[in-house]
């Protein structure tokens, strides 16, 4: 665990000092992410908003409040899950991330996934979903888990999108309530692959991708 803490601190330091794209000039704080380094669940959002940029922490504004409620509905405390974003710096005016910005941040997110090695990845919104399944439509695949690289991935609507739209709100709460059983599936998957001596947590296996796209 000490080695993990060292690794996380090194990664967070690099993110806070990152100058890889022009968002470095407009950010107040970079937002590396937070949560236990041995978390079973990793939530990936889009990018920091105004509150996150001010505080340097992910999901601390209105969408974050709602995310906390959603996690609660699934039986989790926020402190039990790891939360980060595709982008580590706020796009001005909360515009959509640009492809070059996503590319510039890619290694940071990949390092976080490798470091946390979660049982379940929850993607929040279309930008984090498209990291894993570029062609998938969130409206078609939300709430449906898929095995990917020895763990389960479950796409959810972004809490900000669901916050003000009653029909989406009910849907996202229902989707989050499936999380405990998805974690059970992921545990079984890991036990199985360990027993068969298969390496866990590799890149997506090609046979699963078409099922989702």
Instruction: Write out the residues near ligand URA by the rule CB under 6 A.
Output: 45-49, 52, 58-59, 63-64, 85, 160
Nearer to ligand URA, 98 or 189 (CB): 98
Cβ–Cβ under 8 Å, residues 183 and 122: no
Nearer to ligand URA, 79 or 203 (CB): 79
C-alpha closest to that of 212 among 157, 140, 156: 140
Cα separation of the two ends of the chain:
37
Nearer to ligand URA, 43 or 141 (CB): 43
Q: How far is the CB of 203 from ligand URA (least distance, A)?
A: 24
Q: How far is the CB of 139 from ligand URA (least distance, A)?
A: 18
How far is it, in rounded angstroms, from Cα 171 to Cα 169?
5
Nearer to ligand URA, 39 or 186 (CB): 39
CA distances from 157 to 43, 48, 98 (A): 12, 16, 20
144-173: b (≥16 Cβ within 10 Å) or e? ebbbbbbbbbbbbbbbbbbbeeeebbebbe
Nearer to ligand URA, 52 or 117 (CB): 52
Q: How many CB atoms lie within 10 A of CB 28?
A: 14
Q: How far is the CB of 48 from ligand URA (least distance, A)?
A: 5
The torsion angles phi and psi of 86, rounded to 5 degrees, stand at: -65, -50
Block residue for tokens 């510039």:
104
Q: How far is the CB of 25 from ligand URA (least distance, A)?
A: 20
Nearer to ligand URA, 71 or 186 (CB): 71
Q: How far is the CB of 30 from ligand URA (least distance, A)?
A: 12
The residue nearest ligand URA at its CB is 45
Q: How far is the CB of 57 from ligand URA (least distance, A)?
A: 8
The residue ranges of DSSP E strands in 132-181, in sequence order, are: 146-148, 151-156
């Amino acid at each position: 665990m000490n080695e993990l803490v060292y690794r996380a601190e090194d990664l967070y330091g690099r993110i806070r000092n990152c100058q890889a794209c022009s968002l470095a000039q407009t950010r107040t704080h970079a937002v590396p992410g937070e949560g236990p380094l041995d978390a079973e669940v990793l939530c990936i959002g889009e990018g920091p908003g105004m509150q996150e940029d001010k505080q340097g922490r992910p999901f601390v504004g209105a969408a974050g409040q709602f995310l906390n409620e959603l996690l609660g509905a699934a039986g989790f405390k926020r402190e039990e899950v790891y939360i980060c974003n595709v982008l580590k710096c706020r796009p001005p005016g909360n515009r959509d991330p640009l492809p070059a910005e996503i590319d510039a941040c890619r290694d940071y997110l990949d390092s976080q996934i490798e470091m946390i090695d979660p049982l379940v990845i929850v993607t929040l919104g279309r930008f984090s979903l498209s990291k894993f399944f570029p062609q998938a439509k969130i409206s078609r695949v939300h709430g449906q888990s898929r095995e990917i690289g020895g763990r389960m991935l479950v796409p959810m609507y972004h809490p900000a999108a669901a916050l003000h739209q009653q029909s989406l709100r009910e849907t996202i709460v229902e989707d989050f309530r499936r999380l405990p059983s998805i974690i059970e599936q992921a545990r079984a998957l890991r036990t199985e692959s360990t027993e068969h001596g298969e390496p866990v947590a590799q890149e997506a296996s090609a046979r699963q991708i078409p099922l989702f796209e």
